[in-house]
Amino acid sequence: MGLKSYSVCVIGGGSAGVMAALRSVLNNDDCIVFPGTPKDKKRSRAFWVSKIENMPAHFAFKKGIEDPNREVINWINNSPFAERLTFKKNEGVKTISKCSDQSFHLISSKGESYYAKYVILCTGVMDVQPKINGSINPILPYANVQLADYCLRCDGHHSLGKNLTIIGNGDGAAWVCIMLKERYNCPSVTILTNGEKPKKLSDEVQSLVDLYGIEIKSESIIEVIGSPKEHNLVGYKLENGITLKSEFTFISLGMIVYNELAKQLGADIDKRGFVVTDSSGQSSIEGLFIAGDLRAGAKKQVYTAWDHAVDSADKINSLLRYKKRLEFLAKR
């Protein structure tokens, strides 16, 4: 091949990617990491996450994912395992393919070729944003200060005792309303379909919506009212002229799944776009492992991403050690 073949290639620089890199180098395996281009990073969940309040030891970080990840890479670079890590800052992977020897050929965002025996794909997901007057920009300042959130496990507690709105439609959005109403006693709960015709709810969901007095409004949102700098959300102005009071918003519009590289290799994907794996994270493509939000059937949490990454890195290490063992025995 002419170029060095790394033992492990990690694609993605979020929680799963950094933990996969850490575990790989601590296992004493050569690891190359492509954290993504600046454009990739802006499309990632990690970029938009500020505080993390549902995990021990993360409360003091100003950027709940990026700051600890940066600390990890700095620690590796100053550790006895520094030579095991090749970190391709601001670089992603454009294409991936299998070689005849079952290793992987990767072409980076800079057009350069790399080879790896195993790949841990950690490209993750992004939440779909609501469009207001044709743009996602009006909601983003509120998302940046956790007045508009996406993950119930991460941020549901922010709705405690507040007048709540959910931007979404159908049973999924309604279940978010029901859970938050039951868990945090929100005085008022309203679903905003933002110009979409409300979907028919299942009988169970409709009965709970009626029980809790959850309103559904289908008018388009034309303005967000509040002051993100003062950490204040007042409400939404709707196209019918009504101003709806809201102190906190959950956005329940689904996810964009970054599965393009898995698709290039023909990996099995479920109906929502997540990559199907075995218990160690190996996909239907031998040698391709999936960690973090991209993996099917798993919680979309930092701690599950870490667990996925450790499982995959340890499985890869066991495979590498097994091959070395066979080579050693063959020489005796």
Q: Contact 238/220 with Cβ under 8 angstroms?
A: yes
pLDDT in the model for residue 46: 81
pLDDT in the model for residue 257: 97
Segment (H or E) for 226:
strand 221-227
pLDDT in the model for residue 1: 43
| pTM attached to this predicted model | 0.94
Q: Contact 218/236 with Cβ under 8 angstroms?
A: no
d(CA 180, CA 156): 7
For the chain (332 residues), the mean pLDDT of every run of 10, in chain order, is 83 97 98 96 84 90 92 97 97 97 96 97 96 95 92 93 97 96 96 97 97 97 96 96 96 96 98 97 98 95 97 98 93 82
pLDDT in the model for residue 4: 81
